[in-house]
């Protein structure tokens, strides 16, 4: 009964969004306005219907209703309740309902962010959002219905949630990520509205900016969590692999950053209108493209969803309709403005322009590199090639340096042009100071220098100097510092976040230690000064698994740290996973992955020491905090 209700609610939402997606356009074109106050109530109704449907799905999981095919495939009676809850979005069909829910939340958020939504601009925005929601519901109902039933013979027991997904980070990674992906629909819709109602102006830019920032914040958290999860779950100590699914999230993230920077310029100076419009379209386009790549089976990946060309075709259709439509409107519109303010090459406008360029070209290059193997195979009629980390790591470096450079000087440049370049001297001195401090620290901790980490340290020093250090040193008066901070708080957090991220990456890439070896109980190994001792093996029973646990002691100087790594056998599907043993410290992580039982009491292990790896996610967190702060500040100004 409940699944049927869920199904019906979704159909209801389909109907409401159909009307909500068409009516405002009809009104705008025919100039016949109905009781316009319907768009806000409609958005609330849609959200209720979708939420209700989602709750029905969750309920089916929690009561082990295996007559629902989706529940039977992805859940199990032994699964703990909180994972049953998360299994709702553990696979393709359910994750789509989550997508739709996120879209509805953004829509209703927008509706309540303004006092008055009765103008054509807001109603067209709402209409586009409704169309997007409609398209996704249509896709779900037609190709990926989570409420399909296995009747009359429903299984007594389900498959299981993939063991590597039975994990805390997994439960919150998709919702955050989807909030980010779907959030970009709002700047997209606002851009369409601006073009259609011919309101391409500062007002549009200022209303679009907080939503771009907020989407970026969610994407940052989602990507950061994904990276952290991969680190402790996959067992080989890596945290980013340039996997197609990772790139599918990284590309929209990059473009969204270009977007909200470009919107600053459009809002303040009335220029970059075309850039801002195009970026609004491209960011959501990248989001849809990512969805396509991940769910169509075109690309295989560590965690691509259900692979099905029919679904791929449908998503391609959605992608084409919205992005082709948007680009068509974009090419037809006219942005001849009366007063184009000019700016010089030393202006902050030009800095933002370079910023846009670097981010967009990087994003396009990453996307190109991701689909290149497919293009290559088609073009050479069968030859296969792979594009992986060695390529992407080389690609991103010059862009990172260019963007990092801009991040350091950005706050010093003036609108239209910069007259006072005295900041450069100060910046260089401050950078060198920080650089020497950091390098001394690294030498003290790890005993060597490295060119690659030097570049990372340089970027770190430069960004830190330009965003906080110089202000504190130069402004002198506490009041001035405080006012500076209050205006730029979000930006400072975000830029510092990038600095820490870059430093973490640089250090962990050059100073890590690792060793694969065999250890018998009682044996120990000295890895670059850290002594790992294999204490014993024990057995552990979990709610739905049995584990063999290896307990180790690590001695560094005089301290002893314990950690354990285990091999889990999940009883339901007889799947095995390894849980890595990690002890996290401020300056390093100890990382142990249990391997196989080679014979008797001898096991294979992979031991690692990963310096500064936490700084990567700390940096990501700062970026998310910064973008959140900025977006909330802007939203409060609007209401």
Partner 1 sequence: MKTVIFSIILLLSQVIASLEAENLEVGKELYPFESHDSEVRFNRLLEDYRCPKCQSSNLAGSNAPIAMDLKLEIYRLVRAGKKDSEITEFLTQRYGDFILYKPPFQSSTYVLWIGPFVLLFLAMLLVLAFKRNQQNKGADRNIAELKRQLEFDQSNK
Partner 2 sequence: MKKFVHIAPLVIFMFLILALFSFLQRDNNQLNSVLIDKNFPEFNLTKLENKNVVLTKGDISNFPAIVNVWATWCITCRIEHPFLLELKQESKINIYGLNYKDNRQKALNLLERDGNPFEFSIFDKEGSLAIDLGVYGAPETFLINADGIIKTRHVGALTPEVWDKKFVIHLK
Q: Which residues contact partner 1 (rule: CB under 8 A)?
A: 234-236, 238, 241, 243-244, 300-302, 304, 340, 342, 345, 353, 357-358, 361-362, 364-365, 368-369, 372, 376, 379-380, 383-391, 395, 398, 514-520, 522-526, 532-534, 595, 604-605
x-or-dash string of contact with partner 2, 218-257, rule CB under 8 A:
----------------------------------------
Report the partner that residue 374 touches, choosing among partner 1, partner 2, none (CB closer than 5 to 8 A by kind): partner 2
Q: What is the DSSP string of 280-341?
A: HHHHHHHHHHHHHHHHSSSS--TT-----HHHHHHHHHHHHHHHHHHHHHHHH-----S---
Secondary structure string (H, E, C) spanning 202-241: HHHHHHHHHHHHHHHHHHHHHHHHHHHHHHHHHCCCCCCC
SS3 102: helix
**CB of residue 281 vs partner 2: minimum separation in angstroms?**
8
Report the partner that residue 395 touches, choosing among partner 2, partner 1, none (CB closer than 5 to 8 A by kind): partner 1
What percent of the chain is helix, strand and coil (3-state, nearest 5)?
65, 15, 20
SS3 450: coil
Conformational region of residue 68, where left means phi above 0, alpha means psi within -120 to 50, and beta covers everything else: beta
**CB of residue 372 vs partner 1: minimum separation in angstroms?**
6
**CB of residue 104 vs partner 1: minimum separation in angstroms?**
33
Report the partner that residue 379 touches, choosing among partner 2, partner 1, none (CB closer than 5 to 8 A by kind): partner 1
Q: Is 324 in the site for partner 2 (CB under 8 A)?
A: yes
Judged by CB under 8 A, the residue of 371, 432, 571, 573 near partner 2 is 371
Q: Which is nearer to partner 2, 309 or 543 (CB)?
A: 309
**CB of residue 305 vs partner 1: minimum separation in angstroms?**
12
Select from 68-76, 228-236, 273-281, 512-520 the region that touches partner 2 (CB under 8 A): 273-281
Unique residue bearing structure tokens 């998709």: 174
Q: How far is CA 28 from the centre of its chain?
A: 36
Residue 301 near residue 245, CB atoms below 8 Å:
yes
Q: Which is nearer to partner 2, 185 or 620 (CB)?
A: 185
x-or-dash string of contact with partner 2, 277-316, rule CB under 8 A:
-x--xx--x------x---xxxxx--------x--xx--x
Rounded to whole angstroms, the Cα distance separating 151 from 611 reads 54
Rounded to whole angstroms, the Cα distance separating 280 from 282 reads 6
Strand partners, 533: 524, 553
Report the partner that residue 523 touches, choosing among partner 1, partner 2, none (CB closer than 5 to 8 A by kind): partner 1
Strand partners, 594: 605
Closest by CA to 484, choosing from 475, 495, 497, 493, is 475
Report the partner that residue 309 touches, choosing among partner 2, partner 1, none (CB closer than 5 to 8 A by kind): partner 2
Task: Taking the CA atoms of 407, 408, 409 and 410 in sequence, report the sign of the dihedral they define.
Answer: positive
Closest by CA to 631, choosing from 126, 208, 278, is 208
**CB of residue 391 vs partner 1: minimum separation in angstroms?**
6
Two tokens, residue 529: 């000064």
Judged by CB under 8 A, the residue of 2, 327, 454, 561 near partner 2 is 327
Q: Is 363 in the site for partner 2 (CB under 8 A)?
A: no
Q: Which is nearer to partner 2, 285 or 408 (CB)?
A: 285
Report the partner that residue 562 touches, choosing among partner 2, partner 1, none (CB closer than 5 to 8 A by kind): none
Which residues form the interface with partner 2 (CB under 8 A)? Answer: 274, 278, 281-282, 285, 292, 296-300, 309, 312-313, 316, 319-320, 323-324, 327-328, 330-331, 371, 374-375, 377-378, 382-384
């Amino acid at each position: 009964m409940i699944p049927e209700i869920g199904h019906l609610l979704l159909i209801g939402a389909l109907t409401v969004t159909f009307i909500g997606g068409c009516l405002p356009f009809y009104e705008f074109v025919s100039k016949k306005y109905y009781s316009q106050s319907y768009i806000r109530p409609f958005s609330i109704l849609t959200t209720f219907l979708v939420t209700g449907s989602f709750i029905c799905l969750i309920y089916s999981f929690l009561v082990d209703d295996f007559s629902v095919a989706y529940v039977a495939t992805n859940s199990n009676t032994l699964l703990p309740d909180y994972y049953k809850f998360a299994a709702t979005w553990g696979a393709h069909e359910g994750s789509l309902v989550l997508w739709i829910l996120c879209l509805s939340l953004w829509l209703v958020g927008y509706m309540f962010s303004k006092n008055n939504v009765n103008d054509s601009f807001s109603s067209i925005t709402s209409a586009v959002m409704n169309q997007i929601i409609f398209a996704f519901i249509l896709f779900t109902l037609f190709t990926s219905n989570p409420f399909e039933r296995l009747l009359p013979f429903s299984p007594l027991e389900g498959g299981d949630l993939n063991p590597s997904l039975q994990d805390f980070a997994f439960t919150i990674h998709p919702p955050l990520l989807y909030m980010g992906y779907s959030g970009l629909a709002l700047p997209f819709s606002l851009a369409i509205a601006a073009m259609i109602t011919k309101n391409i102006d500062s007002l549009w830019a200022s209303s679009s900016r907080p939503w771009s920032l907020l989407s970026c914040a969610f994407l940052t958290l989602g990507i950061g969590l994904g990276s952290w999860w991969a680190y402790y779950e996959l067992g080989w100590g890596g945290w980013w692999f340039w996997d197609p699914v990772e790139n599918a999230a990284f590309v929209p993230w990059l473009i969204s950053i270009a977007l909200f920077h470009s919107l600053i310029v459009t809002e303040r100076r009335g220029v970059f209108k075309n850039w801002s419009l195009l970026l609004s379209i491209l960011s959501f386009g990248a989001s849809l493209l990512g969805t396509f790549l991940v769910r169509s089976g075109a690309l295989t990946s560590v965690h691509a969803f259900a692979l099905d060309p029919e679904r791929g075709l449908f998503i391609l259709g959605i992608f084409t309709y919205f992005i082709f439509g948007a680009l068509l409107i974009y090419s037809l519109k006219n942005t001849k403005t009366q007063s184009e303010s000019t700016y010089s090459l030393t202006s902050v406008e030009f800095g933002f322009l370079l910023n846009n360029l670097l981010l967009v070209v990087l994003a396009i290059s990453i996307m190109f590199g991701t689909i290149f193997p497919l293009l290559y195979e088609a073009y050479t009629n069968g030859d296969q090639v792979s594009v992986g980390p060695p390529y992407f790591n080389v690609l991103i470096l010059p862009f990172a340096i260019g963007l990092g450079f801009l991040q350091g000087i950005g706050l010093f440049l003036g609108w239209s042009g910069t007259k006072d370049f005295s900041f450069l001297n100060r910046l260089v001195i401050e950078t060198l100071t920080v650089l020497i401090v950091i390098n001394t620290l690294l030498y003290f901790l790890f005993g060597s220098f490295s060119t690659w980490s030097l570049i990372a340290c340089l970027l770190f020093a430069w960004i830190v100097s330009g965003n906080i250090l110089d202000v504190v040193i130069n402004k002198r008066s506490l009041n001035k510092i405080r006012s500076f901070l209050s205006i730029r708080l979000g930006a400072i957090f975000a830029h510092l976040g990038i600095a820490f991220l870059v430093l973490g990456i640089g250090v962990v890439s050059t100073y890590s230690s690792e060793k694969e070896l065999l250890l018998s109980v009682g044996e120990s190994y000295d890895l670059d000064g850290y002594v790992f001792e294999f204490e014993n093996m024990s057995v552990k029973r979990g709610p739905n698994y049995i584990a063999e646990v290896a307990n180790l002691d690590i001695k560094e100087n005089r301290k002893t740290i314990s950690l354990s790594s285990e091999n889990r056998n999940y009883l339901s599907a007889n799947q095995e996973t390894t849980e890595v043993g990690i002890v996290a410290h401020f300056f390093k992580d100890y990382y142990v992955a249990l391997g196989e039982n080679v014979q008797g009491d001898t096991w294979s292990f992979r031991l690692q020491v990963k310096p500064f790896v936490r700084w990567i996610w700390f940096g990501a967190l700062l970026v998310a905090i910064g973008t959140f702060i900025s977006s909330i500040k802007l939203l409060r100004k609007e209401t």
